[in-house]
Amino acid sequence: MTDLDLTVTRRQLLRRAAAGGTILTLPGLLAACGGSSSSKKATGSSGGGKKQLAKTLYFSNWPLYIDINEKTKTHPSLAQFTKQTGVKVNYVEDINDNDSYFGKIEGPLSQGQSIHKDIIVMTDESGLPQRMIQLGWLEKLDKSAIPNIKNLIPAQQHPSWDSNRDYSLPWQSGMTGIGYNPAKVGGEIDSIDQLFDDPKLKGKVTLLTEFGDAIGLTMLANGDDPAHVTKAGFDKAVKRIKAAVDSGQIRQFTGNDYAPLLAKGDVWACMAWSGDLVQLQADHPGLKWVQPKTGAMIWTDNMLIPKGGNVYTASTYMNFYYTPKIAAEVEDYVNYICPVAGADKVLRKTDPKVANNHLIFPTKKMLDNTHEIDPNAVNNKKYKQQFQALIGA
């Protein structure tokens, strides 16, 4: 009952805030004039209410992030879900950047409108899942419909921003470390320090535009803890990066466009995502990915239920995904880090190469050496401003 009360109060607050704050803006005026006729107010969000599956599950995800059968051009795991539950899946790959996607959905959500999605997938490192929880834009999961939640790997069970996994469940994770070309570098690399200080690498190093990765890895190299960002630690990291940018040591700040540069040899060492190297290694077996000895960052793309989504159906799907056999099917294609325990055992029989790849199924030792970024730091406007100024914008 307490849950119900809180939900209602938050919704009321939101509507009041939306009305007050946005009435002065034109869309607000227009909405007040009756534009919200098509908005679907939160249905089925009160826990314990209806336990009926919807006809269709509306699922937004990142492109090429689920298994594909290239011959039939379908997603086998989704077809299996439909067969098992009778729920059709409207699967759209329209998320390609956290901030951009958030910019797209914050309009309706801030006015209490539904975005007509049951599941969306966003990265914790962007700070946005935390933000959305704080803003009250997410529905709580129906854990009674997700008994398979017990399969969630221990390392992912208590993230700082959703310690009880009330609002989110991981879809895939990835590690950020150092990707490099041993032939060009002339040896091995295992520290971020080398990226910053080695004169041989001048102009051949790229860092990531992702706040969590760039600041996080640098802080670790400085001996600070990125899970608890202090002003001193932040400033130190910024100073270090700035010096390297000014001297020309850092060639560029990239999204995943470091991959072609690394493949072609224009970049010799960079901050890189583990999943990218798995793919690059298929064509360039010489390239390597390592965790810096001071620590790697780990980020997770989480399934979230936006306000207005059908909680029961979404939770049912999440439970389905957390079956080791299903997760293994998806993992076999996606090749990032699987959050479902037991998937590796399944894959050991069907695709041992993937099962034994430490970039896809990292060892406990590797996972212990990973860190998450403090989402409060990511959402801190001053830090964000400073970071953006650092990377040139």
Partner 1 sequence: MTTLAQALPRRRTLSLGWIRRYVLTVYAALALVYLFLPIAIVVLFSFNNPAGRFNYTWQGFTFKNWTHPFNYPGLQGALTVSIKIAVLSSLVATILGTLIALSLVRYSFRGRGLTNLLIFMPMTTPEVVMGASLLALFVGRGVVLGFLTIFIAHVMFNISYVVVTVKARLVGFDRHLEEAAMDLGANEWTTFQKVTLPLIAPGIMAAALLAFALSVDDFVITYFNAGSTTTFPLFVWGAARVALPPQINVIGTAIFVVAVGGMLANIIFQNTRARRAGLAKD
Partner 2 sequence: MAFLHRHKWVTPYLLLLPGMAWLAIFFLVPMVYLGKTSLEQGLFPTFTFQWAWGNFHDAISLYQTQFVRSFEYAGLATVIALVGSYPLAYWIAFRGGRWKNLFLLLVIAPFFVTYLIRTLAWETILADDGVVANTMRHLHLLGTNGRLLATSFAVVAGITYNFLPFMVLPLYVSLEQIDGRLIEAANDLYASRWKAFLRVTLPLSLPGVFAGTLLTFIPAAGDFINAQLLGTPKQYMIGNVIQSQFLNVRDYPTAAALSFVLMGLILAAILAYARILGTEKLTG
Q: Which amino acid is at 271?
A: M
- Residue 185 in the binding site for partner 2 (CB under 8 A): no
Question: Least distance (Å) from partner 1 to the CB of residue 93?
Answer: 6
What is the token pair recorded at 260? 């072609």
Residue 284: name its binding partner from partner 2, partner 1, none (Cβ under 5 to 8 Å by kind): partner 1
- Residue 187 in the binding site for partner 2 (CB under 8 A): no
Let me know the angle formed at the C-alpha of 156 by 349 and 151, rounded to the nearest 5 degrees. 45
Contact residue for partner 1 among 7, 45, 54, 108 (CB under 8 A): 108
Question: Least distance (Å) from partner 1 to the CB of residue 20?
Answer: 15
Dihedral (C-alpha) 157, 103, 65, 115: value to the nearest 10 degrees?
Answer: 80
Task: Return the number of the residue (1 or 393) whose C-beta is nearest partner 1.
Answer: 393
Cα–Cα dist 49/139, whole Å? 14
H/E stretch holding 301 reads: strand 296-304
What is the DSSP secondary-structure string of 365-386? HHHHTEE---HHHHT-HHHHHH
Q: Which residues contact 283 (CB under 8 A, 6 or more apart)?
A: 263
Let me know the angle formed at the C-alpha of 60 by 57 and 64, rounded to the nearest 5 degrees. 120
Closest by CA position to 212, among listed 372, 391, 382, 337: 372
- Residue 32 in the binding site for partner 2 (CB under 8 A): no
Question: Least distance (Å) from partner 2 to the CB of residue 253?
Answer: 7
The stretch near partner 1 (CB under 8 A) out of 1-9, 149-157, 278-286, 363-371 is 278-286
Considering only residues 10 through 29, tell me which ones interact with partner 2, judged by CB under 8 A: 17, 21, 24-27
Closest by CA position to 390, among listed 193, 202, 239: 239
- Residue 275 in the binding site for partner 1 (CB under 8 A): yes
| C-alpha dist (Å) from residue 140 to 30, 47, 79, 168, 320 | 31, 8, 26, 8, 18
Contact residue for partner 1 among 56, 281, 357, 386 (CB under 8 A): 281
CA atoms within 13 A on the CB side of 100: 5
The stretch near partner 1 (CB under 8 A) out of 140-148, 157-165, 206-214, 280-288 is 280-288
Considering only residues 234 through 273, tell me which ones interact with partner 1, judged by CB under 8 A: 255-257, 259-260, 263-264
- Residue 26 in the binding site for partner 1 (CB under 8 A): yes
Cα–Cα dist 170/90, whole Å? 20
Task: Return the number of the residue (229 or 334) whose C-beta is nearest partner 1.
Answer: 334
- Residue 388 in the binding site for partner 1 (CB under 8 A): no
Residue 9: name its binding partner from partner 1, partner 2, none (Cβ under 5 to 8 Å by kind): none
- Residue 376 in the binding site for partner 2 (CB under 8 A): no
Query: Would you call 174 helix, strand, or coil by DSSP?
Result: strand
Task: Return the number of the residue (4 or 29) whose C-beta is nearest partner 2.
Answer: 29
- Residue 38 in the binding site for partner 1 (CB under 8 A): yes
Cα–Cα dist 213/273, whole Å? 9
Burial class (CB in 10 A: 0-12, 13-18, 19+), 100: exposed
- Residue 341 in the binding site for partner 2 (CB under 8 A): no
Q: Which residues contribute to the site for partner 2 (CB under 8 A)?
A: 17, 21, 24-27, 97, 99-100, 103, 106, 110, 135, 203, 211, 245, 250-253, 257, 260-261, 264-266, 381, 384-385, 388, 390-393
Binding stretches for partner 1 (CB under 8 A): 25-31, 35-39, 60, 62-65, 68, 70, 73-75, 92-96, 100, 103-104, 107-108, 111, 113, 255-257, 259-260, 263-264, 275-276, 278-284, 334
